[in-house]
């Protein structure tokens, strides 16, 4: 099923999972998948490291298992910065063979000391290329608080529009903790002529180290009511997890009440957290 077709029917609710490290067996993620599928998301996306030789095999195995074993529509992430055209061709062929119709086309983060492959400079280049390679539904990433390499929102939105014009049928946002920043971005995106559905990326915070790492990578701003939680409970993992779940639910309720197109939950492969959130918002997303 093409994910783009879902947005006209309902508020889309999706999950994101990541494959185990290359050194770990693929089976270590199966238990997580089984528990997540019971929560009945509209689709599950599977990340793929930007390293080039990375874990593409694991990503495709997980995507295929989601579809065949659990009947869940998968979306495979595909970062292009360190892949040659030939490597992308191989991955697209494998997706086709495995019946994977939905791709999140990404540039990927630059890796220090790794020279990019240079066949694809921006995600929009990859989207244009995939369009010539078959009948895939292609999504792109967007940044409510501006991508770290962009000068400002205006420039970032101009580039985002190129992605949509190249063929992205919907967008998934970077995580954010301040809904107001998402609403400002959404208004600006619509004014810039970006009219495809935009899912809000929500990451429930479950430990303080994770949040420090994520925020340093993506530059998300932290509202005071959020930092108060971190400061108060950083040494009490169980309470921090519960407070993080409550914060995410509060964000999601506000987003849905405001008419958001969809919620993309960064599950961090934690079914307990995804379950608590899914149960809390179940009646809102029907
Ligand atoms: P682009 O759209 O290429 O944008 C990157 C920068 O270039 C921006 O500053 C943009 O303004 C600018 N730009 C874009 N197009 C043009 C253009 N045509 N001309 C000039 N400038 C342009 N990374 C992974 O490696 N694997 C994953 O699985 C993964 N999953 C992700 C999922 C989501 C929902 C999100 C939000 C991010 C994910 N990332 C992943 C991280 C992502 O790869 C990085 O954020 C990366 O730095 C940018 O990727 P992009 O696709 O947005 O790039």
Q: Residue 163: CB within 6 Å of ligand 1?
A: yes
Q: CA torsion sign, 222 to 228 to 229 to 235?
A: positive
- Which of 122, 138, 219 gets mutated to test ligand 1 (max ligand atoms within 8 A of its CB)? 122
pTM: 0.97
What does the pLDDT read at residue 55?
61
Q: Can you give the residue range of the structural domain that contains 207? A: 3-284
User: Ligand 1 centroid vs 259 CA: distance in angstroms?
Assistant: 25
User: Ligand 1 centroid vs 141 CA: distance in angstroms?
Assistant: 6
What does the pLDDT look like over 231-285, one tens digit per residue? 999 999 999 999 999 999 999 999 999 999 999 999 999 999 999 999 999 999 9
What does the pLDDT look like over 101-136, one tens digit per residue? 999 999 999 888 889 999 999 999 999 999 999 999
CATH number reported for the structural domain that contains residue 177 in this entry: 3.20.20.220
Provide the token pair at 140.
Answer: 């792109």
Instruction: Tell me which residue has its CA closest to atom 51 in ligand 1.
Output: 106
What does the pLDDT look like over 128-160, one tens digit per residue? 999 999 999 999 999 999 999 999 999 999 999
Q: Residue 119: CB within 6 Å of ligand 1?
A: no
Instruction: Tell me which residue has its CA closest to atom 9 in ligand 1.
Output: 150
Model confidence band, residue 53 (pLDDT cutoffs 50, 70, 90)? low
Which residues are part of the catalytic machinery? 16
83 touches 120 (CB < 8 A): yes
What does the pLDDT look like over 186-212, one tens digit per residue? 999 999 999 999 999 999 998 888 888
Total tally of structural domains belonging to the chain? 1
């Amino acid at each position: 099923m093409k994910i783009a077709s879902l947005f006209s029917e309902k508020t889309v609710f999706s999950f994101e999972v990541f494959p185990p490290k290359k050194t770990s067996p693929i089976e270590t993620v199966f238990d997580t998948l089984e528990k997540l599928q019971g929560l009945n998301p509209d689709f599950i996306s599977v990340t793929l490291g930007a390293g080039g030789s990375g874990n593409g095999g694991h990503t495709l195995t997980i995507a295929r298992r989601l579809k065949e074993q659990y009947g869940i529509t998968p979306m495979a992430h595909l970062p292009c910065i360190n892949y040659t055209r030939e490597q992308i061709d191989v991955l697209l062929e494998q997706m086709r063979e495995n019946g994977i119709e939905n791709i999140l086309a990404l540039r990927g983060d630059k890796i220090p000391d790794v020279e990019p492959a240079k066949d694809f400079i921006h995600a929009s280049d990859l989207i244009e290329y995939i369009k010539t390679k078959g009948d895939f539904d292609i999504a792109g990433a967007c940044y409510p608080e501006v991508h770290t390499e962009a000068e400002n929102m205006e420039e970032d939105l101009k580039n985002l529009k190129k992605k949509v014009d190249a063929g992205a049928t919907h967008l998934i946002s970077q995580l954010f903790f301040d809904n107001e920043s998402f609403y400002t971005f959404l208004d600006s995106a619509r004014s810039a002529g970006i009219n495809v559905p935009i899912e809000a990326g929500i990451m429930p915070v479950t430990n303080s180290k994770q949040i420090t790492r994520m925020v340093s990578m993506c530059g998300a701003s932290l509202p005071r009511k959020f930092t108060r939680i971190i400061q108060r409970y950083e040494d009490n993992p169980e309470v921090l997890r519960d407070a993080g779940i409550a914060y995410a639910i509060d964000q999601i309720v506000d987003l849905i009440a405001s008419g958001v197109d969809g919620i993309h939950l960064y599950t961090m492969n934690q079914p307990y957290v995804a379950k608590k959130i899914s149960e809390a918002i179940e009646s809102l997303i029907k």
